A and B are shown apart, each in its own frame.
Chain A
Amino acid sequence: MQQFFIVLCLVLMVVAGGAAVMLRSMLKSTISLGVASALLAAVLFLLGAFWAAIFELSVCSGLITVVFVSAVSLTNSDRKDEEHVKEHRARVAALPAILIFAGASLLFILFSHDFNIVISSTPASFAAFKEALWSLRQSDILGQIIAILAGTFAVIVLFKERDNI
């Protein structure tokens, strides 16, 4: 039953991702991205990655969608995208080639001899997660701090002082 839900969520996620690519309205495609992100969070939850799922749901499908929606409304680009897509047949023609290549490599992966992947994990306990995060991944935590600092300075440079020039 759990497997069925995983598969269902994955299929829906791919559909939502495809919609984010194909929809002409930027707003709708942004929202599709958020939906895909939420469905991914469900998959993560079903696979046993609770904490990752919570982060994915709140940050990716929440925060990033907000960022995109505000970017779309700030740049007024909702309508303009439509014209561009049409003149773009040549690039679209690359799609079958990509798909064939991808399909071939996938078949290669899936049907090579004695290749067997079994999802074996049990959900990680909170204690194990805490141990992993705080005592094993110190450099990542430092990295997160620095990355947030970088993001702050980026916002200062790109938004706050833009009008001074």
Chain B
Amino acid sequence: MNIVSAIILTAALLMIIAGMFCLVRTYNLIRIIIAIEIAMKAITLLLVFAGAVNGNMALSQTFVITMIVIEVIVAVVAAGIAISLYHKNGNVDIRELTNLKG
């Protein structure tokens, strides 16, 4: 067992947990997006780790680059929706989002 591998896996797991924990902890829309970003960091780490383990680093880098592009777009869209919601509701509190029930 390579100790560095163990630490990388642990770090990825901790980052995912931090993201999930943030999701359930906060009422703030922007912080929810931050939570998703934190989880995505862990996934990036995992992808590069996979490339480092199987020796196919070139492929794994292309994955990471594509993924980053998409991540940015998702973050921008999410932030855009959050800002629009702020304009409608006057705040970014998730508890205000109660129009849809059933």
Contact of A140 among B66, B71, B72 (CB under 8 A): B66
Interface string of A37-62 (1 = CB under 8 A from B): 10010011001111110011001100
Number of A-B pairs, beta carbon distance below 8 Å: 257
B97 within 8 A of A: no
Interface string of A91-130 (1 = CB under 8 A from B): 1101100110010001001100001111111111100110
A40 touches B25 (CB 8 A): no
Q: A71-B82, A81-B31, A119-B2 are in contact. Are A88 and B41 (CB under 8 A)?
A: no
Residues of A within 8 A of B66 (CB): 137, 140, 143-144
B9 touches A147 (CB 8 A): no
Q: A26-B30, A72-B30, A117-B5 are in contact. Are A13 and B41 (CB under 8 A)?
A: yes
Q: A91-B25, A123-B57 are in contact. Are A64 and B1 (CB under 8 A)?
A: no
* A150 CA / B64 CA spacing, docked (Å): 20
Contact of B57 among A77, A85, A118, A124 (CB under 8 A): A124
Residues of B within 8 A of A84 (CB): 26-28, 93
Interface string of B44-87 (1 = CB under 8 A from A): 11001101111111111111111011111101110111111011
Interface size class of A (residues with CB under 8 A): 35 or more
* A153 CA / B34 CA spacing, docked (Å): 23
Name which residue of chain A comes closest to B65, CB basis: A55
Q: A121-B55, A128-B58, A143-B66 are in contact. Are A77 and B79 (CB under 8 A)?
A: no
Q: A37-B41, A40-B41, A40-B45 are in contact. Are A81 and B26 (CB under 8 A)?
A: yes
* A118 CA / B5 CA spacing, docked (Å): 7
A149 → chain B closest CB, angstroms: 10
Residues of B within 8 A of A75 (CB): 29-30, 82-83, 86, 91-92
Interface of B toward A, CB cutoff 8 Å: 1-11, 13-15, 17-22, 24-31, 33-35, 37-38, 41, 44-45, 48-49, 51-66, 68-73, 75-77, 79-84, 86-87, 91-93
Can you give 11 A-B contacts (C-beta < 8 A)? A21-B25, A47-B52, A49-B64, A64-B75, A71-B79, A74-B83, A117-B2, A121-B52, A121-B53, A140-B63, A148-B73
